Amino acid sequence: MTRTGVQLDTATAAIPPVQPLPSVMRAAVYRGPNRVVVEQVPVPEISPGEVLIRVAACGICGTDIKKIQHGFVAPPQILGHEVAGTVVAVGPGVTRFRPGDRVVSFHHIPCGACFYCQRKLFSQCAIYKKVGLTAGFTPNGGGFAEYVKAMPWIVERGMVAIPDGVTFVEATFVEPVNTCLKAVEKARVAPGECVVVIGQGPIGLLLMMLAKLAGATVLTTDPMPERRAASLRFGADAAFDPSAANLADEIRRRTDGRGADVVLLAVPIPALVTESLALARPGGRVLLFAQNDPHMRIEFPAAAVGVEEKEILGSYSADVGLQAQSAELVFSRRLPVLGLVSHRYPLEQFDLALSLAARPSGESLKVVVEP
């Protein structure tokens, strides 16, 4: 019913918002390399099948940082894709959600039927490559704004209701947990295996915790003592300073001279690929997580692959098939994601949030913006 008592057919009519919506909003707009300006922009208008979300929290991802620092996208754009908030308006035809629903939204969802989807290579699907979440300009997530619009294919298959008792900040982890779970599964981590995770920032810590849940013994490295301490606190079996320890010898000592079964590289540094290969046993797997810089070039010893038969794998973005599992891991608190959040900033202080996320200190981990 509307406020006037008129029955609405949601198949043909929009459900009125809970309260009148503004015409303009604040957003952190990318205006060029290393330049993001908080300014007034129009609130997105929704069409049939679409949903408008009032953003409550959005995590800053390493991909956002790369786009901003290196100019990988053309301005103007509003970034931010780890989005959680409240539905405030729905377009005609929307039946899954109503104003007032608390949701987390993905920004990429595949078609499910193409050549790549049939092979579960969802991130290579043409529909997947279309961003379906926007706060204006060229769609690119939009979570660094007060409102975002979810397009029809996202509304149908890419939005997840947040249970009571789960905070918006926790819910922002559903997407990054999905990407990390995909990586762990792609690396075929098995119970009893030895896994090394290089880098213990927020992504590295998630990879470590998921490898532990898979039953592996997990060793980690990070140059920051605070992050090594966090790694042990969240469950790593051992954590090493890469500059002080002969890590390859230590891993061989722990694996009867073989080396690690799996190495998960969570740091976009080309030289660490060679190091990762050196840590892996013959026939082992090295997974490069989100190494998505199109200008990066990597060199490694050919014999590591051609003679020792080590595998180099890549993993990028989320997997729609893991959507329910990743949400359960966050919502059930089997993964203590809230403990990864070190800093929260209002939208007006986006420059400070971005600076800290891009140049982390020993005290910082995940940085979240709350518009």
Tell whether 210 and 311 lie within a shared domain.
yes
**Are 200 and 227 spatial neighbours (Cβ–Cβ below 8 Å)?**
yes
Residue 5 domain-assigned (yes or no): no
Residue 303 domain-assigned (yes or no): yes
Tell whether 45 and 144 lie within a shared domain.
yes
Say whether pLDDT at 340 is over 70: yes
Tell whether 42 and 133 lie within a shared domain.
yes
Say whether pLDDT at 28 is over 80: yes
**Are 99 and 89 spatial neighbours (Cβ–Cβ below 8 Å)?**
yes
**Calpha distance 54→84 (Å, rounded):** 8
Residue 274 domain-assigned (yes or no): yes
Residue 71 domain-assigned (yes or no): yes
Residue 325 domain-assigned (yes or no): no
Give the pLDDT confidence score for residue 296 in this predicted structure. 84
What CATH number does residue 121 fall under? 3.90.180.10
**Calpha distance 88→320 (Å, rounded):** 25
Tell whether 94 and 206 lie within a shared domain.
no
Tell whether 295 and 341 lie within a shared domain.
no
Tell whether 228 and 296 lie within a shared domain.
yes
Average of per-residue pLDDT values in the chain: 93
Question: What digits encode the pLDDT tens for the residues 35-67?
Answer: 999 999 999 999 999 999 999 999 999 999 999
Q: What is the DSSP letter of 137?
A: B
Q: Look at the alpha carbons of 352, 357, 363, 367 in this order and tell me if their dihedral is positive or negative.
A: positive
**Are 319 and 9 spatial neighbours (Cβ–Cβ below 8 Å)?**
no
Tell whether 152 and 225 lie within a shared domain.
no
Confidence band of 232 (pLDDT split at 50, 70, 90): very high
Say whether pLDDT at 12 is over 90: no
List the one residue out of 130, 129, 146 whose CA is nearest residue 52.
Answer: 146
Residue 347 Rama label (left phi>0; alpha psi -120 to 50; beta): alpha
User: CB within 8 A of 365, min separation 6: which ones?
Assistant: 201, 202, 205, 227, 230, 340, 341, 342
Tell whether 169 and 184 lie within a shared domain.
no
Confidence band of 258 (pLDDT split at 50, 70, 90): very high
Residue 55 domain-assigned (yes or no): yes
Give the pLDDT confidence score for residue 50 in this predicted structure. 98
What CATH number does residue 190 fall under? 3.40.50.720
Question: What digits encode the pLDDT tens for the residues 285-310?
Answer: 999 997 777 788 888 999 999 999 99
**Are 187 and 264 spatial neighbours (Cβ–Cβ below 8 Å)?**
yes
**Calpha distance 188→315 (Å, rounded):** 12
Number of domains in the chain: 2
Q: What is the DSSP letter of 224?
A: -
Tell whether 88 and 130 lie within a shared domain.
yes
Tell whether 293 and 365 lie within a shared domain.
no
Residue 90 domain-assigned (yes or no): yes
Confidence band of 243 (pLDDT split at 50, 70, 90): confident
Say whether pLDDT at 245 is over 90: no
Say whether pLDDT at 9 is over 70: no
Tell whether 32 and 160 lie within a shared domain.
yes
Residue 14 domain-assigned (yes or no): no
Residue 268 belongs to domain spanning: 179-315
The dihedral over CA atoms of 132, 138, 142, 144, expressed in degrees to the nearest 10, equals 170
Question: What digits encode the pLDDT tens for the residues 75-134?
Answer: 999 999 999 999 999 999 999 999 999 999 999 999 999 999 999 999 999 999 999 999
List the one residue out of 242, 162, 236 whose CA is nearest residue 198.
Answer: 242
Tell whether 146 and 283 lie within a shared domain.
no
